[in-house]
Amino acid sequence: MSASIPSAMTELVPPVPVAESEPPAQAPRERQPKMTARAVHVDDGDVPAIKAVDLDIHTDEVTALIGPSGCGKSTFLRCFNRMNDIISGCRVEGDITLDGEPIYGGSMDVVQLRARVGKVFQKPNPIPKTIYENVAYGPKIHGLAPKGSELDEIVRVSLERAGLWDEVKDRLEEAGTALSGGQQQRLCIARAIAVDPEVILMDEPCSALDPIATARIEDLITELKGEYTIVIVTHNMQQATRVSSRTAFFYLGELIEYDETNTIFGNPKEKQTEDYVSGRFG
Ligand SMILES: Nc1ncnc2c1ncn2[C@@H]1O[C@H](COP(=O)(O)OP(=O)(O)OP(=O)(O)O)[C@@H](O)[C@H]1O
Ligand SMILES: [Mg+2]
């Protein structure tokens, strides 16, 4: 526009003052992603389950992975703590980092990685021991080796954070498997928390639970975000909108779209995303 202003007028326009005292407003600086995936490809030597996926997992946020059955969500989730390593024939290519450090690099201790990047499974899987031992097990084997009151404290705090302490504090010596499904899943979350992880991967953590137990876990996820980076696979669209700030939509092994959850569900850019989130397929 200024090009069309006659030169005589431009002289009347006061020069824009250069603010010396006030620095220009800056967009808040994004924190470094907690984890990054670059050109990640997974196959079983034949059919690819994940193809050329790039994705950043943001620090202390909840990221949801959605998509129809068989599109590779669980396979991709397993890449973040190298759980695919234990599936025979499974090949993972590309780069994944945790705090900028390659997790598939030679210097990465996989046991240490799995303490930093914990996992909660679809079906609650308490070990066949007491409630106390389920939570104490990780700290004992991960080299922290706390004992006595120190270990008691880790168990209590982990169960409190998992929203289970009040229900189990008087029955810590009972079997973990004696709890209800929803309680067992919170026990598994307490077990994950007990080793002080930075990232928690959750693969459909509520799919075996009733609506009340599901709501408890969703509340818990909301409480835990900000303290932990959480990646959750879910088939429940409402759940993704309730708990996550970003959502990645996968289809046939490809990442179709990744954006803020509100955008993915309210104004997606890709037609495939729109069709999926509006229930037209999957
Ligand atoms: N252990 C395995 N061995 C061989 N192939 C596998 C294995 N696990 C998954 N796959 C294959 O990888 C592809 C992706 O499967 P994956 O379990 O990651 O999908 P998903 O999106 O998690 O599906 P769902 O929503 O049903 O859990 C599928 O074609 C599946 O058959
Ligand atoms: Mg799955």
pLDDT, tens only, 26-49 = 555 567 999 999 999 999 988 999
- Give the pLDDT score at 81: 96
**Are 135 and 118 a contacting pair, CB within 8 Å?**
no
Sign of the dihedral defined by the CA atoms of residues 158, 162, 163, 164, in that order: negative
Ligand 1 within 6 A of CB of 87 = yes
Q: If we measure between CA atoms, which residue out of 219, 167, 229, 226 comes closest to residue 192? A: 229
Whether 1 shows a pLDDT value over 60: the answer reads: no
Nearest CA to ligand 1 atom 22: 74
- Give the pLDDT score at 147: 78
- Give the pLDDT score at 53: 98
pLDDT, tens only, 205-224 = 999 888 998 998 999 999 99
Whether 246 shows a pLDDT value over 80: the answer reads: yes
Report pTM.
0.87
Nearest CA to ligand 1 atom 26: 69
Ligand 1 within 6 A of CB of 73 = yes
Q: In this structure, what DSSP letter does residue 17 have?
A: P
Domain 31-126+201-277, CATH class in plain words? alpha beta
- Give the pLDDT score at 142: 76
Ligand 1 within 6 A of CB of 72 = yes
pLDDT, tens only, 73-113 = 999 999 999 999 999 999 999 999 999 999 998 889 999 99
Nearest CA to ligand 1 atom 18: 72
Which residue of 53, 73, 84 sits with most ligand 1 atoms within 8 Å of its CB, as the best mutation to test the pocket? Answer: 73
Domains in the chain: boundaries: 31-126+201-277
Whether 4 shows a pLDDT value over 50: the answer reads: no
C-alpha–C-alpha distance, residues 138 and 89, integer Å: 28
Nearest CA to ligand 1 atom 24: 69
Q: How many CB atoms lie within 10 A of CB 45?
A: 8
Half-sphere exposure of 79 (CA within 13 A, CB side): 29
Q: Higher-confidence residue: 142 or 53? A: 53
C-alpha–C-alpha distance, residues 258 and 7, integer Å: 48
Report in angstroms the alpha-carbon separations of 275 from 168, 192, 235: 44, 35, 15
**Are 39 and 255 a contacting pair, CB within 8 Å?**
no
| H or E segment to which residue 220 belongs | helix 211-224
Whether 9 shows a pLDDT value over 70: the answer reads: no
Query: Which span out of 8-17, 20-29, 221-230 was modeled with the highest average pLDDT?
Result: 221-230
Ligand 1 within 6 A of CB of 202 = no
C-alpha–C-alpha distance, residues 275 and 282, integer Å: 9
Ligand 1 within 6 A of CB of 123 = no
- Give the pLDDT score at 50: 97
C-alpha–C-alpha distance, residues 253 and 72, integer Å: 5
Share of the chain above pLDDT 70, in %: 88
Whether 179 shows a pLDDT value over 90: the answer reads: yes
Ligand 1 within 6 A of CB of 79 = no
Whether 154 shows a pLDDT value over 90: the answer reads: yes
Burial of 242 from C-beta contacts in 10 A (0-12 / 13-18 / 19+): middle
Sign of the dihedral defined by the CA atoms of residues 160, 163, 168, 174, in that order: negative
